Structure formats: C-alpha cells, structure tokens
Structure 1
Amino acid sequence: MSMQRAVVTGASSGIGAATARALVAAGWEVVAVARRTDKLEALAAESAAIVPFTADVTSDEDVAALAAFLDGLEGGIHALVNNAGGAKGLESVEESSVEDWRWMFEINVLGTKRVTSALLPLLRRGASGERRAADIVNITSIAAHTAYVGGGGYNAAKFAERALTEVLRLELNGEPIRVIEIAPGMVFTEEFSLNRFRGDAERAAAVYSKVPDPLVAEDIAGVIADAIGKPRHVDLDLIVVKPVAQAAPYRVAEGELRPKGF
C-alpha cells in the first residue's frame, strides 16, 4: 500500500505541529497548512515526510489554492485534521466585542467548513484507492459541550463547529469516510491563551500556573493518530480529553493532586 497522506491545518505550532510529528512517526506523509511560512518551513525541516503549504483557512482563495495543490499530488489524500482555531477574550456576552466573535466564527466554524468543502472530493478519491477509506477529524473543545462564564463567543463558535461535525457525519453516512470530533480540555501550548489575552503573557501563564499537569499538545496529537489508525470498522465519533485536574471548563483543581483522605 502506498503511503497515507494527511492534511493538518493550524500546523505551525501547538496541537497542529505536534499532530504532524505524530502522524509522521506513525508512517504518514503530512501536508502541514498554516499562515506562517517560517514556522512551517522549520517544521518541514524535521522530516522529508512533512510538506509545508502556506494558507489562511479564512481565505477562499488560499483554500482553493490548497485544494489545487493537493489535487496535483500523486496518491491523493486520506485524512483531514481541521485543527486551525482559537479564542479571543473572556468578557461577558454583554461586554465582549462583536469583532472578536466574528473572528472566532470565521476561523473555528467557517474555516472548518471551507476546508472540508474544498477537500471532500479529494478525500472521496483517496477513499476509492488502495486504502478505500478516509477520515475527517475536527478539533473542537470541551467548550463545544459545556458553557462557562466568559466563554460566550468561544462557546458559541465551538458549539457551532460541533454541530457542523455532527451534521457532516449524517451527510456522509454510507460513505467510507469517518468523521471524528476531538474535544480537548486544558492544553498548555505556546499560543492559545496568549492569543486569547491579546499578547498578555503574564495573564496567559496564570491560566496554567496552579494547575497540576495540564495536557500538552503531544497528548492530543497522540489521540488523533490513534483515532485514525483504528481498524476501519471502528469510528470514535467523539473523544473528550481532559487533564485529571479538570472536572469541567469551570472546575479545575489547584495544587498537588492527592488520594482522598490525605
């Protein structure tokens, strides 16, 4: 069987970059997609199996160029990981910025829709080849399942991305394409909270400073690689991944975790 090929968006850092590495380690070729060419090239320098492609998932033109590039690759594509996304702000619904909400919907919801629509014909073609199957993995969040104070815009965007995922699964029923949702809890990455707090490094670091053992990008990457590596009759529709310290988006233990009674 020829090498399997995956497309990973938001691959310049964090979960996306870790996913590219995990898939390469599992024997995949990866087309790593993101806006920052320098970071993509640094990632691609780690392995000949990582092919960088600069594109913004909020741009129709960029996504069309990505689809055209992939269409020209011999062997097709067999998996799409819609990882590009993000949050801005923790203000209330009343006080939050419409522009922040618009940005969150554009990247989390419309970006996922745009890339999925453009690449589905290529995934179908890949599913008709030797592998006879394909995967779409959407990275949402526990914020897609549970509302929390300050989550307004991000909750709304991720709930919408979750709905998109569930409808897509219904629409593709009967085709050999699995649709998998992975909903992470607290993941300590270089940029997520930094972006959410508009570059305030101190505030971003404080989110994780007292939390024992938050998840890291490699934890989620391993889950992604495992999910698409399952036998083809096994579909992990929804995988929720949280650190042990996190019971809900709004309830996180601080300090050392100890057995009850101590």
Structure 2
Amino acid sequence: MTPLEAVIIAIVEGITEFLPISSTGHMIITSSLMGIASDDFTKLFEVAIQLGAIVSVVILYWKKFFPLNRWRFYLKLLVAVIPALVLGALFSDKIDELLESPMTVALSLLVGGVVLLFIDKLFTAHHIEKEEDITFKKGFIIGIWQCLAMMPGVSRSAASIIGGMQQKLSRGLAAEFSFFLAVPTMAAATGYKLLKAFKETPEILKDSHNLAMLALGNVVAFVVALLAIKFFISYVQRYGFKLFGWYRIIVGVILIFLISQGYLK
C-alpha cells in the first residue's frame, strides 16, 4: 500500500464511518478499484484505522465520556455492545468472507437506501430526547439492530440509528447514541483484528512501512471523521435521512452495473 492509497482509504473511512452509507462497503469498493482489495494488510488497515474515528467521537463528546464515574453511561454501552461481541466472535470467519464481495455491498446499499427513504414515516413517535432516558433494555435492542451491520454495505451507523428510532429516540439522539455505541464496538473489532493478525501474520505488523501507513491512516481518519460528525448531526436534525437513502440507491445501482460489466470483481 502506498501513502496515497492509505490517505484515500482513510478519507473514505473518516467521511463514511458515522454516516448511514456504510464505511466498510465504501472501503471495499475503493480498495477494489485501486487493485489492493485482496491484500492481507489492506484488510487489516481498513479495520485498524477505525481507531482514528473512535478517538474523534471521544474528543467531540468528551463531556459524555469523562469523568469516568458516569457508570450508568458506560454500563449502558456495555449492554448495547454485547450482541455484536457475541455474534462477531461466532461468525468472524463468515464475515471475513463477505467482506470480499462487492456484490454483497452493492445489494446491501440498495436495500438500505430504500429503508432510509421511509424511515421518518415508519418511526414517527420520537419522545426520547436525552441519553439519560435510554433504558438498558432499549440500549440492548439497539445493539441487536447494530448486528445487521455485520453484512457489508448495511452500515453500522444506519442499523443502530434505525434501531434507536424504532425505540422512540429522536433523530438527533439516535445518531448520537450510534456514535457512542461505535466506540466499544469498533474498539473491540479493531483489537480482535490486530490480535488475530499478530498471531497469524505477525510479519505484517513488523513491517515499518505498514506501521507508518497505519499511523498515517489513523491520523487522516481522525481529522476527517471530526468534520463528518459535525455535518451529519446538523444535517439530519434539519432534513432527515432521505439524501443518504437516495445516495445509497444510486451508488448501489452503479456498482451492480460495474460488476455486471466486469469492471469490478
């Protein structure tokens, strides 16, 4: 992986991680277009640079994460992340296989886009406006919804936001809780992927060039994610999710065409 390729993928990660358009799907397609999708380090890189995006959430919402004595907040996130931890551990190999399929990404983008077009009409009773009013039960159910994102192209952000709105959270709070939930979810996924790479392909993490690319990718993802989060919260509170729904549908249709014509494998 070259520095330019690392920067491009990190920009894609930073922009798409917290938007309901699937960061994993976009990185898979970006890597495929650059001809590096099947490389072991690229697969690791696409997960590891999520750390940069995680830090951006903690920085933007530092009052929520600090001081550390807010035990109910942390316990709520722990309960919500349990479904993803369990299913991720059980089906990690199958998930890795799906990550290599652009067609899976294209179809998921298309279907998810249709859902986002109608989400505001499907869930109209949004009376929960504060994080403190999210019960442990609601947090757990949102965590179950988040598991849909194990299918590439679904979008972790979209799945957890839809789950939040189904549990009567306002659009803004559903988006924010999705950000909070991303921290333990992505930290666990990144830690697992790094540990697996250390055990199975340690030479990847011993390569100084690879380490430099990981550092570069995380810095870029951090900066871009900061800007993307601010934009998303402001936009979705005003206009809802239709723009992201249409975007997913258009991209999904284009990808299916490219795959059918042999331009994308």
TM above 0.5:
no
Larger strand share, 1 or 2: 1
User: Larger relative CO (CA 8 A, sep 6+): 1 or 2?
Assistant: 2
* TM-score, with length taken from structure 1: 0.31
Larger helix share, 1 or 2: 2
